[in-house]
Protein backbone atom coordinates (compact mmCIF):
# COMPACT_ATOMS: atom_id res chain seq x y z
CA UNK A 1 0.00 0.00 0.00
CA UNK A 2 1.39 3.38 -0.94
CA UNK A 3 0.98 5.87 1.89
CA UNK A 4 1.43 9.19 0.08
CA UNK A 5 -1.05 11.91 0.89
CA UNK A 6 -0.57 15.58 0.05
CA UNK A 7 0.19 17.14 3.44
CA UNK A 8 -1.59 20.34 2.37
CA UNK A 9 -4.92 18.61 1.75
CA UNK A 10 -4.85 15.26 3.57
CA UNK A 11 -6.38 15.45 7.06
CA UNK A 12 -4.20 14.42 10.00
CA UNK A 13 -4.89 10.84 11.01
CA UNK A 14 -5.74 9.67 7.49
CA UNK A 15 -2.61 7.54 7.11
CA UNK A 16 -3.15 6.07 10.58
CA UNK A 17 -6.68 4.92 9.79
CA UNK A 18 -5.89 3.77 6.25
CA UNK A 19 -2.98 1.59 7.34
CA UNK A 20 -5.00 0.05 10.17
CA UNK A 21 -7.84 -0.79 7.77
CA UNK A 22 -5.37 -2.11 5.21
CA UNK A 23 -3.87 -4.48 7.77
CA UNK A 24 -7.36 -5.65 8.70
CA UNK A 25 -8.09 -6.62 5.09
CA UNK A 26 -4.74 -8.32 4.54
CA UNK A 27 -2.16 -5.78 3.37
CA UNK A 28 1.33 -6.50 4.66
CA UNK A 29 3.59 -4.27 2.52
CA UNK A 30 3.63 -0.52 3.05
CA UNK A 31 5.52 2.06 1.03
CA UNK A 32 6.45 5.35 2.65
CA UNK A 33 8.94 8.20 2.49
CA UNK A 34 10.25 11.02 4.62
CA UNK A 35 8.75 13.56 2.22
CA UNK A 36 5.24 12.11 2.75
CA UNK A 37 5.27 13.66 6.25
CA UNK A 38 3.20 10.80 7.69
CA UNK A 39 5.77 8.21 8.77
CA UNK A 40 4.76 8.70 12.40
CA UNK A 41 1.12 7.81 11.62
CA UNK A 42 2.09 4.79 9.53
CA UNK A 43 4.38 3.53 12.29
CA UNK A 44 1.74 4.13 14.94
CA UNK A 45 -0.84 2.16 12.96
CA UNK A 46 1.54 -0.76 12.53
CA UNK A 47 2.47 -0.71 16.24
CA UNK A 48 -1.21 -0.65 17.28
CA UNK A 49 -2.06 -3.60 15.03
CA UNK A 50 0.89 -5.59 16.37
CA UNK A 51 -0.14 -4.74 19.94
CA UNK A 52 -3.75 -5.84 19.43
CA UNK A 53 -2.64 -9.15 17.90
CA UNK A 54 -3.96 -8.47 14.39
CA UNK A 55 -0.55 -9.04 12.81
CA UNK A 56 2.97 -10.14 13.72
CA UNK A 57 5.93 -7.83 13.16
CA UNK A 58 7.68 -10.42 11.03
CA UNK A 59 4.74 -10.34 8.59
CA UNK A 60 4.98 -6.58 7.94
CA UNK A 61 7.19 -5.12 5.22
CA UNK A 62 7.82 -1.37 5.31
CA UNK A 63 9.74 0.23 2.47
CA UNK A 64 10.97 3.77 3.04
CA UNK A 65 12.66 6.12 0.62
CA UNK A 66 15.22 8.84 1.22
CA UNK A 67 15.24 11.95 -0.97
CA UNK A 68 18.47 12.39 -2.96
CA UNK A 69 19.53 15.53 -1.09
CA UNK A 70 19.55 13.57 2.18
CA UNK A 71 22.28 11.13 1.09
CA UNK A 72 25.71 11.71 2.69
CA UNK A 73 28.00 13.35 0.08
CA UNK A 74 30.84 10.93 0.83
CA UNK A 75 28.74 8.03 -0.44
Q: Is 36 a catalytic residue?
A: yes
Annotated catalytic residue: which of 4, 27, 36, 62? 36
First vs last C-alpha separation in the chain: 30
Q: Is the distance from CB of 23 to CB of 46 less than 8 angstroms?
A: yes
Question: Which residues lie closer than 8 Å to 55 by C-beta, 6 or more apart?
Answer: 23, 28, 46, 49
Residues labelled as active-site residues: 36
Amino acid sequence: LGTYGDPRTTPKGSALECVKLAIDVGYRHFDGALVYFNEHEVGQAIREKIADGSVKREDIFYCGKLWNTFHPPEL
